[in-house]
Amino acid sequence: DTEVTQTPKHLVMGMTNKKSLKCEQHMGHRAMYWYKQKAKKPPELMFVYSYEKLSINESVPSRFSPECPNSSLLNLHLHALQPEDSALYLCASSQGSRSQETQYFGPGTRLLVL
């Protein structure tokens, strides 16, 4: 089973709202990722967690705040977003062994910021 689940599927929020995206995997993977994908563009890496610790932050604005409560869960907390943050947010996971890492992606949360 190579399933990564994400909730919600769709989210509409105002610029003053606070919301959270959730990602879950039960493959025993120890690396988890957040990506942002704009229409007709490839995914752009935002954050990487390795063994529940933040490993990579690709200079993402602080209005995006990741959290990894345990090895199966990854959250992305959103606050004071801008309309240009509207995009598909993808979660992925991989083994975490740094050997032949293969990332498996979830279906994404489609975010619209008004």
Partner 1 sequence: AQSVSQHNHHVILSEAASLELGCNYSYGGTVNLFWYVQYPGQHLQLLLKYFSGDPLVKGIKGFEAEFIKSKFSFNLRKPSVQWSDTAEYFCAASGAGSYQLTFGKGTKLSVIP
| Token couple for 80 | 């004071």
Residues 45 and 92 sit within 8 Å (Cβ to Cβ): no
For 84, other C-beta atoms within 10 Å of its C-beta total 8
Instruction: Select from 12-20, 64-72, 75-83, 99-107 the region that touches partner 1 (CB under 8 A).
Output: 99-107
Note whether 107 binds partner 1 by CB under 8 A: yes
Nearer to partner 1, 50 or 65 (CB): 50
* Biggest distance spanned by C-alpha atoms of the chain: 42
Total interface residues for partner 1 by CB under 8 A: 25
Residues 69 and 15 sit within 8 Å (Cβ to Cβ): no
- What residues numbered 21-80 form the site for partner 1, per CB under 8 A? 31, 33, 40-43, 45, 48, 50, 55-56
Residues 44 and 50 sit within 8 Å (Cβ to Cβ): no
Minimum Å distance from CB 67 to partner 1? 18
Instruction: Select from 18-26, 60-68, 77-85, 104-112 the region that touches partner 1 (CB under 8 A).
Output: 104-112
For 71, other C-beta atoms within 10 Å of its C-beta total 18
For 17, other C-beta atoms within 10 Å of its C-beta total 14
Minimum Å distance from CB 91 to partner 1? 10
Site residues (vs partner 1, CB under 8 A): 2, 31, 33, 40-43, 45, 48, 50, 55-56, 90, 94, 98-108
